[in-house]
Amino acid sequence: MKTTLLLLALAGLAPGDAAQGTKQDSEDLTVTTRTGIFTGAVNANYPDVHEFRNIPYAQPPVGARRWLPPQDLPPSSQHAYSLRWPPQCAQYLTRIPTYWNSNGTEFYPNIASQSSIAGVQAQTSSEDCLSLAIWTPRRRVSPSKSDAKLLPVAIFIPGGDFLNGGVDVTYQKPAPFVSRRQDLIVVTLQYRVDIFGAPNAAGLLDQNLGILDQRKAVEWLHANVRSFGGDPDRMVLWGESAGSIAADFYNYAFYDNPIVTGFFLMSGSVLDPQSPADPTYSNFSFVAKNVGCDFGMGSNRDPDAELACMRQVPSNLLLNFAGQYRDNKTDPTITFRPVPDGRVLFGNYEERAAKGLVADRPLLISTTAHECSSFFYPIQHLTAGPNLRFTDEETLKAFVCPAANATRWRGALPGRTTYRYQYAGNFSSVTPYPWLGAYHGSDIPIMFGTMVVQPGVTAFQQRVSESMQDHLAAFVADPENGLRNMNTGWLPDNGSVHGGPMMRFAAGDKVHRVINSIEVDGACFGQGKYNHSPT
């Protein structure tokens, strides 16, 4: 299976995926790492960008390795063509219409000709999926050059509610960003999701396998990114939505050795509402019972026999049963998302923050102005939209107030620099209904520059995109001082009850301007009413 992943690209390329280059290009496209030699592609639309689309960072978690922590790849000099995107990690396509699988499919993993509401496992997904993709400037720095020439690295963890996601997502391919800037490298990693990423099984010591996958990817990059011209001592961990929550889990779990030099939390933190704990491991055993692995429940369970049996069940049977059961909204509900284990995830983050058990690395944390409008998809009332008072309440509860509290916690500690921004754009090219506003994830195509896949991009929208990219590039290059050195007035927020500096992008006719965070957070503390459409 490892060879399958490494050689996936040998079968050929999809039309338009890569451009032919010169002999020099071909030489530049081949990179030697500790775990293999990889030849990438020139992006057809951005020929000054090189893409390495499928770089395994751990052994395939299949067979006996299913539900084990990610295992290191052995040293190798095997050559592979990294020209095709890897399969997404095994995931289920809900049949319940949402914004993401209906109007916002550019945020959704590319699933070829399969219906996005298929109600079965995605045919483009597989358990053999622990890969990352790397985008570099075409004329990247040789690893033999001095450290001063190496480029900073942004490591992106995609979201998807810990149920979906991957590298091959239209809006999340950063070639436009890398092409325009030419001074950073962007990496996107894949990690196990759903029952494979967070099984919470009685027979397992490690439950939060998807989070451990992310750590393994960071370790691989630290050991190998220099081969791509990246600086292993200037890597920022950046996540969006569930990926942002995961990055913050990492922030606390590996606080004493984070490896990375900064964090960017894009709409998510450890304070976001999480799934209920399952201390009796009933969810996993319920699935086991229904796929022919009934070895008891509770104190009568044989956890080792249950686990051994479940390792023999094909992935589609596991995902389809669990996913269809959830779609039917049957009681009792079952979930497979990260759970507190006292090792990687915790149930007492405020206490841990007070003790300083959080990485002493600068953090950038953001929200969008109307986060929750897209979560309440009114399929019968798309013109009118949902109850906006309700979506405001949920936006405060799930995103704004957690970001404010995280900032205050950090402000009470020495050496925890925190920057904040709010995205307020409402651009028709990426916002099909006006009531959506700056919905959850709507800043992704703006930051990545991928809004250009849609018609109708405005000059103002382009300026906003460039400003957001420039600010992020400054943070990645120097998380402590990069933003303040841009001289746009964006300074750290020290967590004061009176608020602090916050950058606001795309409100009214302003590309960016600094506001007091109380304008956004005040409603969390009884000061004013929340405004989801600031100008």
Top mean pLDDT of 230-239, 270-279, 292-301 is at 230-239
- If one counts every other C-beta atom within 10 angstroms of the C-beta of residue 157, the result is 31
What integer pLDDT is reported at residue 205 of this predicted model?
95
Integer Cα distance of 384 and 235 in angstroms? 43
**What average pLDDT does the segment 193-215 reach?**
97
| pLDDT tens, residue by residue, 481-500 | 999 999 999 999 999 989 99
Integer Cα distance of 182 and 163 in angstroms? 33
**What average pLDDT does the segment 418-423 reach?**
98
What integer pLDDT is reported at residue 377 of this predicted model?
87
What integer pLDDT is reported at residue 27 of this predicted model?
56
What integer pLDDT is reported at residue 141 of this predicted model?
63
**What average pLDDT does the segment 514-531 reach?**
95
Q: By three-state DSSP, how is residue 95 classified?
A: coil
Q: Which two tokens stand for residue 214?
A: 């992310």
Instruction: List the catalytic residues.
Output: 241, 371, 440
Select from 528, 494, 498 the least CA-distant residue to 516: 498
Strands, E assignment, 241-388: 262-266, 363-368
What integer pLDDT is reported at residue 274 of this predicted model?
76
Contacting residues for 124 by C-beta, under 8 A, at least 6 apart = 87, 88, 109, 110, 111, 112, 114, 168
| Mean of the per-residue pLDDT values of the chain | 93
- If one counts every other C-beta atom within 10 angstroms of the C-beta of residue 316, the result is 16
The partner residues of 333 in beta bridges, in order of sequence, read none
- Compute the CA torsion angle 472, 474, 478, 483 (nearest 10 deg): -90
In the chain, what are the domains?
Answer: 1-151+164-232+253-261+275-340 (3.40.50.1820), 362-535 (3.40.50.1820)
- Show the DSSP H helices in 53-197 as ranges: 99-102, 175-181, 194-197
pTM of the complete model beyond 0.85: yes
pLDDT band for position 13 (cuts 50, 70, 90) = very low
Q: Which two tokens stand for residue 45?
A: 């639309």
